[in-house]
Amino acid sequence: MFLRRVTAHVKTQNWFAVVLDFVIVVLGILIAFQITNWNDGRKAKAQLAEAETAIKSDLFLNYVWAKERLSLRTCRVEQLGQLSARLLEPGETWTGLPNGRDELGEARAIAQVLRSPNRPWGGRIWQAELARGTFIDMNSRQREDLDFVFKQAGDVETHQTRITDLQSRLKVLSNSMELSRSDRLRYYDMVSEIDENSFWMELKASQLCSVIETLGLSYDEAELAILKPRVAEILDLELRRTQYGACVEPVTITLFESPGSEAAAGPSSCTISGFN
């Protein structure tokens, strides 16, 4: 109908009407573009807000996992050293050394020899949203810091997976048995690999923990209400003692005590000395 009207105006050489029709069309297109851009912008802001919420959650959890891991380091080094020394002793008689039981201990057929936390380190949301360009307008320094944190978290999770696999293969040492020299050396190599992966895991955990503390993150009551249950196990000293035995030390996250304040280190600092 509009095209028919324009054609009629051209035939009658009503150029004012033709120009007016043209202006109406252009304005309509511009308004449509503006509405589309506004809707896209609103969706992008909502998507960014949702992504930032998820990333804040991942940052907080990675921070807590890192502090837990670092709190166990001294005891971990001592236990691995003792086990390594025993494996290098002469003779073929091996006296089993079950290292306590966790809350599911009665359901296990074989006791754990060593045990370290196995946590869900976050980073997949950041990588996915980064690839989509969600953070293209983010401050470059902040984007670099976050990218560093989540790449470190991915590396830490890789080391964690390897440690968990090796520890499961050491369960046989919970039993008393005859152990040949070659078997002792084979298990010694496994313990050495656990030590190597633990070293790198703790070093990278220390680095990402320190960077997170510089980000100036804050969490309100609603956010903490969601996060608290997910880390309650770590903050419960007695529960963790049933899981990790004598290696457990308190892990305090001051954010829980002062909602809305910046993240701060508890008794277990992000920076640890003694790396060799």
Position 66 pLDDT exceeds 90 = yes
Q: CB 20: neighbour CB atoms within 10 A?
A: 13
Q: Name the more confident of 63 and 262.
A: 63
Mean of pLDDT over the chain: 80
Least confident of 44-53, 182-191, 198-207, 232-241: 44-53
Q: Is 172 exposed, middle or buried (0-12, 13-18, 19+ CB in 10 A)?
A: middle
- Domain residue spans of the chain: 60-256
Q: Dihedral of the CA atoms 258, 261, 267, 268 (nearest 10)?
A: 130
Residue type, 130: L
- Highest mean pLDDT (candidates 29-38, 148-157, 267-276): 148-157
Instruction: Supply the pLDDT for residue 242.
Output: 75
Instruction: Supply the pLDDT for residue 50.
Output: 78
3-state DSSP call for residue 94? strand
Position 259 pLDDT exceeds 60 = no
Specify whether the CB–CB gap between 197 and 101 falls below 8 A: no
- Highest mean pLDDT (candidates 98-102, 134-138, 180-184, 269-273): 180-184
3-state DSSP call for residue 93? strand
What average pLDDT does this structure show over 244-268? 61
Instruction: Supply the pLDDT for residue 261.
Output: 44
Position 90 pLDDT exceeds 80 = yes
Alpha helices by DSSP H, listed for 72-123, are 73-87
Pick from 275, 247, 229, 208: nearest CA to 67: 208
Q: Which residues contact 60 (CB under 8 A, 6 or more apart)?
A: 217, 219, 227, 255, 263
Q: Name the more confident of 180 and 261.
A: 180
Paired tokens of 137: 């307008």
Instruction: Supply the pLDDT for residue 62.
Output: 94
Instruction: Supply the pLDDT for residue 220.
Output: 85
**In the chain, % of residues over pLDDT 70:** 73
- The C-alpha atoms of residue 96 and residue 85 are separated, in whole angstroms, by 14
Pick from 106, 101, 148: nearest CA to 242: 101
- Tens of pLDDT, residue by residue over 120-174, are 998 999 998 888 888 887 888 988 999 999 999 999 999 999 999 999 999 899 8
